Structure 1
Amino acid sequence: MASGSSQCNKIKPVIVVHGGAGAVMQEYEDRYRAGVKKAALGGYDILKNGGDAVTAVEEAVVIMEDDPHFNAGYGSVLNEEGEVEMDAIIMSGKDLASGAVSAVRCIANPIKLARLVMEKTDHLLLTDRGASQFAKLQGIPEIPGETLITERSRERWKKNQKPGSNPVASQLGLGTVGAVAVDSEGNVACATSTGGLTNKMAGRVGDTPCIGSGGYADNNIGAVSTTGHGETIMKVVLARLILHYMERGMSLEEAADEGLKYMKTRVDGSGGVIVVNSAGEWTAKFSTKHMTWAAVKDDCLQCGIHQGDNEIVPLSEIL
């Protein structure tokens, strides 16, 4: 767990990202840390130059979609047919505008398509063939599906085809990616993207593109991005549940803990969340063994992966 709070009335931009909750093999830890740090810094660069929260979370997620170590975009896990199907959502807390896509193929950055759904249509969610047609209309290039597949994902797919395998248990380090942010105007936003569950049924859609489950943003409360087992997250509508607890007066940390606790006791689910509010307070919480996360505020980068882990580095030592 980590958290931070604003010490003055002026809103200072904040961004928090996660690279998925689960159990990360030690040999991959440095790469995950580097990936979330790069994403957080990329989003913060937009915020510190006066950019809006929606653009910042989109940029952070794009960076992780392009990183083969994360289960989103390039590096996504494969479904039972050995193909990549991806989900994504983005939401603006200013006006509750949201856009999402599900079961999309042959697109490098599903989060970009989700933003176009939000801004160019009257709908909130497009799926499969319809999403593909919309992408073509918007000039998003279609790429060969094979270019999204890493050797690591293919090997995992082969392993989980064996009798007695457990795809859920084998999601080691292959988690959803997400970001939440507040900009200098006090507007919050969230974005979440995933390749889903390895060896899932073709057409399976998890929590990520479902508003209130994979993410939610409301300036009056805050913004949340979730990660974990999609089916259990959906059952408790985790993102909106946490914001509900905040509405009832809980702090960000208390609300995140309570949401994860409820999911565990009610449906035996585990996962992680990142949360921010319009005052610039934030937290990163998880009930799994690991969750890779990074945050930037006050020209300071924080990062962690283990429970209680919090590496703090001034941006002056990075830039």
Structure 2
Amino acid sequence: MKKLIAALALALLSQPALAEEAPKWSLAIHGGAGTLDPDKMTPEKRAEYEAALQKALDAGAKVLSDGGDAMDAVKAAVIIMEDSPLFNAGKGAVFTWEGTNELDASIMDGRDRSAGAIAGVKTVKNPILLADKVRTDSEHVFLMGAGAEAFALEKGFAVTPPEYFATPARREALERMKAKQLSALDVDHKFGTVGAVALDQNGNLAAGTSTGGMTGKRWGRVGDAPLIGAGTYADNRACAVSATGWGEYFIRVGVAHEICAQLSMNELFRQGLAALGIFPPATNEPTITAQTIADEVMDDVARLGGDGGVILVTPDGEAIFSFNTTGMYRGRATSAGVNEVAIFGGEEKASATPDH
């Protein structure tokens, strides 16, 4: 008997160890959506945008691949785009009617749905960091204008001079708008808002968005980017979303929250059917996907007359884009090895879900 037990033990020890499933992580970024003309995109300009997107994507992906936090990954990616003059956020923000650069941003943690947002800030180099400081170091969610800047000073943020944010291309757009009495949409063929959404290896989701708004904005206009539920939302139970586009319509639809809410309801419905024995959840593929829901919400925006796009990441690690414009500056990276940036429609792979 002892020999038999010893033989069985040896046989078990000699079996190859089962490989542990590698933790999933996923990241998606955007640098604005709008009416983009492929014929006007020179190879040099395309390469410049792709390099900037890749730099932001790599910064966020490194945080996640190293086991870092989703919130840190979102900030890392957004900061790169805020520091680039190519995007309408931070340096390179559009001008208001009065000729100033006013910055908006928001961020949300899917673990506890804590959130921070700022609007109309003129002296903070990286608005996404101030939004996060509102989230972590105040009892508030949303601060604006002079109050937000006073809060920034109290928290040790350096005062960035206004000339840092100004770029010749953005000033020319304002001058052209005034000279020809154009609308903001006539000079802003691209909504340059930037954003990032992430899933980390611990299963936590986060979302962040930053923008300079619309060229020639007046009367303290604020769009969807700093509004939790419109331009930004994250909930570990559903998804993380960042939006870009014609803010007034995204506000009316409540785009970011609407997508997450529909995903939550769809999952509850699926679980309910499974509990009734109508189908086993382990083998049945959902009939309504995250892509379907995102597309339907963007269709709703279009029906009202708005355009733009969203990026989202799900708890399963899907990294999804949906936009109703000719293009959206975007990128995604996952633990499955996906790493890509794109500008126009149909340029990326059909799926970016980590499969381990």
Normalised TM-score (structure 1): 0.92
1:285 paired residue number: 322
Measure, in 2, the Cα distance between the counterparts of 1:182 and 1:206: 26
Measure, in 2, the Cα distance between the counterparts of 1:138 and 1:299: 39
Question: What's the secondary structure of 2:187's corresponding residue?
Answer: coil
Asked whether 1:69 is paired with 2:56, we answer no
Question: What's the secondary structure of 1:248's corresponding residue?
Answer: helix
1:114 paired residue number: 131
The one of 256, 259, 279 aligned to 2:294: 256
2:242 paired residue number: 225
Asked whether 1:295 is paired with 2:329, we answer no
Measure, in 2, the Cα distance between the counterparts of 1:225 and 1:13: 17
Asked whether 1:134 is paired with 2:120, we answer no
1:204 partner amino acid: R
The one of 348, 351, 355 aligned to 1:310: 348
The one of 240, 258, 271 aligned to 2:257: 240
* Structure 1 position 292, deviation (Å): 0.8
Asked whether 1:87 is paired with 2:87, we answer no
Measure, in 2, the Cα distance between the counterparts of 1:300 and 1:216: 24
2:150 partner amino acid: Q
* Structure 1 position 264, deviation (Å): 1.1
C-alpha distance after superposition, 1:41-93 (max 9, x if no partner) = 10011111111000100110000000100000000000000100010000000
C-alpha distance after superposition, 1:282-309 (max 9, x if no partner) = 2011101110110111233122111111
Question: Does structure 2 conserve the Cα–Cα contact (< 8 Å) formed by 1:304 and 1:311?
Answer: no
Q: Which is richer in helix? A: 2
Question: What's the secondary structure of 1:157's corresponding residue?
Answer: helix
Asked whether 1:209 is paired with 2:226, we answer yes
Measure, in 2, the Cα distance between the counterparts of 1:311 and 1:33: 16
Measure, in 2, the Cα distance between the counterparts of 1:191 and 1:11: 23
* Structure 1 position 202, deviation (Å): 4.3
1:274 paired residue number: 311
Normalised TM-score (structure 2): 0.83
2:29 partner amino acid: V
1:317 paired residue number: none
Question: Does structure 1 conserve the Cα–Cα contact (< 8 Å) formed by 2:209 and 2:225?
Answer: yes
Structure 2: gaps (5+ residues): 1-19, 267-287, 351-356
Question: Does structure 2 conserve the Cα–Cα contact (< 8 Å) formed by 1:65 and 1:74?
Answer: yes
Greater Rg, structure 1 or structure 2?
Answer: 2
* Structure 1 position 175, deviation (Å): 1.4
The one of 34, 38, 44 aligned to 1:22: 34
Measure, in 1, the Cα distance between the counterparts of 2:228 and 2:76: 20
Measure, in 1, the Cα distance between the counterparts of 2:295 and 2:183: 27
1:102 paired residue number: 119
* Structure 1 position 10, deviation (Å): 5.0
Question: Does structure 1 conserve the Cα–Cα contact (< 8 Å) formed by 2:89 and 2:212?
Answer: yes
* Structure 1 position 12, deviation (Å): 1.2
2:344 partner amino acid: H
Asked whether 1:183 is paired with 2:200, we answer yes
1:310 partner amino acid: E
C-alpha distance after superposition, 1:86-127 (max 9, x if no partner) = 100000000000000001001110000000000000100000
Question: What's the secondary structure of 1:78's corresponding residue?
Answer: coil
Question: Does structure 2 conserve the Cα–Cα contact (< 8 Å) formed by 1:17 and 1:177?
Answer: yes
Q: Within 5 Å, which residues of 2 pair with 1:35-74?
A: 35-74=52-91
2:161 paired residue number: 144
Q: Which is richer in strand? A: 1
Q: Which has the higher contact order (CA 8 A, sep 6+)?
A: 1
- Higher mean Cα deviation, 208-217 or 17-26? 17-26
Question: What's the secondary structure of 1:169's corresponding residue?
Answer: helix
- Higher mean Cα deviation, 68-77 or 233-242? 233-242
2:319 partner amino acid: W
CA RMSD of aligned residues (A): 1.5
1:5 paired residue number: none
Question: Does structure 2 conserve the Cα–Cα contact (< 8 Å) formed by 1:19 and 1:32?
Answer: no
- Higher mean Cα deviation, 221-230 or 302-311? 302-311
Name the CA shift for 1:9/1:252 in 2 (closer, same or farther; >3 Å).
farther
Measure, in 1, the Cα distance between the counterparts of 2:138 and 2:327: 37
Question: What's the secondary structure of 1:226's corresponding residue?
Answer: strand
Question: What's the secondary structure of 2:104's corresponding residue?
Answer: strand
* Structure 1 position 260, deviation (Å): 0.3
* Structure 1 position 32, deviation (Å): 1.8
Measure, in 2, the Cα distance between the counterparts of 1:118 and 1:308: 36
Aligned residues: 304
Measure, in 1, the Cα distance between the counterparts of 2:349 and 2:49: 14
* Structure 1 position 31, deviation (Å): 1.9
2:290 partner amino acid: L
Question: Does structure 2 conserve the Cα–Cα contact (< 8 Å) formed by 1:11 and 1:280?
Answer: no
